[in-house]
Amino acid sequence: MSGPYIPCSEVIEFLWSYVAGELPPAKVAEFERHLAVCPSCTAYLSTYRMTLELERGAFQPEGCEPEEELPEDLIQAVMGALRRE
């Protein structure tokens, strides 16, 4: 897109590529010019980054070691539920 301004809808379309560092330098410059004048997109980007961090943390809990075996009562409960279906 030519010109100094890109619409919010286009910012949202390539947000993942921006956060991942996969945008070409010219597109990064356009994106950052937009952020400089658009508080809504700045807030959206912040929320997007926070969501990504929470997602990563949800799948990598610190100090949580998996059990070697599942408790027998849990196994039986799951098997019983499957048989009823």
State the pTM of this model. 0.58
Reply yes or no on whether the pLDDT at 24 is more than 60: yes
Over residues 13-38, the mean pLDDT reads 89
pLDDT at 2: 42
Measuring CA to CA, how many Å separate 3 from each of 31, 33, 39, 50, 63?
Answer: 12, 11, 20, 30, 50
Reply yes or no on whether the pLDDT at 67 is more than 50: yes
Reply yes or no on whether the pLDDT at 60 is more than 70: no
Rg from Cα positions in the chain: 22
Reply yes or no on whether the pLDDT at 76 is more than 50: yes
Reply yes or no on whether the pLDDT at 64 is more than 70: no
